[in-house]
Amino acid sequence: MAGKYPVSPLAPAAFPALPVIRGASFATVAAGVRYAGRTDVMLARLAPGTTMAGVFTKSSTRSAPVLDCQAKIGGDGDAGAAIVVNSGNANAFTGRNGIEATRAVTSAAAAVLGLPEDRVFSSSTGVIGEKLPAERITAKLGDLAAVLDEGKIEEAAKAIMTTDTFPKGASAEVMIDGQVVRIAGIAKGSGMIAPDMATMLVYIFTDAAVERPVLQDMVSTLSDLTFNCITVDSDTSTSDTLLMAATGASGVRVTEGNTAFIEALRGVMLDLAHQVVKDGEGATKFVEIHVSGAPSDADARTHAMAIANSPLVKTAIAGEDPNWGRIVMAIGKSGAPADRDLISIWFGDVLVADKGWASADYKEADGAAHMKGQELSIKVDLGMGGGAATVWTCDLTHGYIDINADYRS
């Protein structure tokens, strides 16, 4: 539960100053869903004309709010939209009660805001398998609607935290046809983080005008290059949701293939993804793993993820041990092609293994020196082809056990 554990040593110095996204306003409240003494519900109101896109968990046991979002995300409508998020209870594996609780929240928000119900999206994050006390949320919606404010995005980032030790935000500004377009995003997530989906709760807002199919293509494509390239513990949430809202309030239209906008959005998404890893439960090291020389990009990714998810690699990193034998082990078990005698491995810029065996010039002190850093780089070249991939992870420490062997917050 937020506040119970010390702030991650990898946390940014401060929450970034996020720009106002015209057309997106926020409010938060302490509704007592589960936590006491903190905000746990956030409402975001998106102006009329907003387009919405989303990426969701592929879990076969996904939660009622995720199923509800998926049913609604393809819809259009000029009335605007809203997002309601609660922390403390995931409303997952709650049977028919889950559907009813989701409907109670979204229909109440629709009534309060004068929106069609199918334009209200909701997320729930926290404990699985307990009935969501929807009435605690619905009772506060009138109060929330009354205090919506375009300047309150940081408060929104705080209200959605669970085991997170810091709120996560990122932003970008892009010049398009001489006019400024802004993007701001918030995220939560620190455990149950693995790719193959949006990986956590992420909400991104822009004042650009982007048609729905274009916006959806952008977030789907960029998710695969950002959120789907991170892993904390290989576990996959039932609730992972990324929603993006384009309010159009800047009056600037962004069309398919707008490289400047796509790059700016990618930057925001990658920044948020990295922050999630840096708040990985118990994390003390941020690790970039780059695999090249694979027969294909997909093979490179398989190897990179095998390394990133290996408990033996992650504990060696925690122990600042340049144990490259475990990297070899992880490559061997990944299932993707590898030729033992062609593999080279670097810790940072230190060549550790050179085509199948310890490099002649390698001194363990050099590898160990790199491992003492807080941001580490592990590079592997398979010597087989042109496929490459980069993924990000953190170490596996006593902190992860502490948090998860007693978590039920």
Active site positions, annotated:
199
Residue 382: how many CB atoms within 10 A of its CB? Answer: 23
Please say whether the beta carbons of 370 and 322 come within 8 A: yes
Give the position of tokens 């404010």.
149
By CB under 8 A, how many residues form the interface with its own copies? 67
Region near its own copies per CB under 8 A, out of 10-18, 79-87, 205-213, 313-321:
313-321
Q: How far apart are CA 177 and CA 343, in angstroms?
A: 48
Binding region for its own copies (CB under 8 A) out of 100-108, 145-153, 289-297, 390-398: 390-398
Interatomic CA distance for residues 135 and 115, integer angstroms: 19
Name the residue nearer to its own copies (CB basis): 16 or 337. 337
Residue 388 binds its own copies (CB under 8 A): no
- Cα separation, 127 vs 193, in Å, equals 15
Q: Taking CB under 8 A as the criterion, which residues in 205-234 touch its own copies?
A: 233-234
Query: Of the listed pieces 106-114, 168-176, 353-361, 385-393, which binds its own copies according to CB under 8 A?
Result: 353-361
Which is nearer to its own copies, 62 or 278 (by Cβ)?
A: 62
CA distance readout (Å), 178 to 181, 252, 337: 10, 10, 49
Residue with tokens 């810091």: 166
Task: Determine if 407 is a binding residue for its own copies (CB under 8 A).
Answer: yes
Q: How many residues does the chain have?
A: 409
CA angle 227, 230, 232 (to 5 degrees): 130
Q: In terms of CB distance, is 89 or 216 closer to its own copies?
A: 89
Interface mask toward its own copies for 171-210; x: CB under 8 A:
--------------------xx-x-x--------------
343 is a contact residue toward its own copies (CB under 8 A)? yes
Short-list 198, 166, 201, 234, CA closest to 396:
234
Of 103, 181, 111, 97, the C-alpha closest to 145 is: 111
> Which residues are known binding-site members for substrate?
162, 188, 199, 281, 404, 409
Binding to its own copies by CB under 8 A, coded x per residue (else -) over 51-70, reads: ------x-xxxx--------
Q: How far from 190 is each of 22, 33, 183, 201, 335, CA to CA, in Å?
A: 29, 20, 23, 10, 28
Q: How far is the CB of 162 from its own copies (least distance, A)?
A: 13
| Residue 356: CB minimum distance to its own copies, A | 5
Strand residues in 57-178 grouped as ranges (E)? 81-89, 120-127, 168-176
Work out the end-to-end distance of the chain between its first and last CA atoms, rounded to an integer number of angstroms: 5
Contact between 310 and its own copies by CB under 8 A: the answer reads: yes
Q: Does 304 bind its own copies (CB under 8 A)?
A: no
Q: How far apart are CA 12 and CA 166, in angstroms?
A: 9
326 binds its own copies (CB under 8 A): yes
Q: Closest distance between its own copies and the C-beta of residue 200, in Å? A: 13
Q: Which two tokens stand for residue 115?
A: 């929106």
9 binds its own copies (CB under 8 A): no
Q: Site residues (CB under 8 A) for its own copies? A: 57, 59-62, 90, 92-97, 127-130, 191-192, 194, 196, 233-238, 309-312, 315-316, 318-319, 321, 323-326, 328-334, 337-341, 343, 353, 355-358, 396-398, 400-401, 404-408
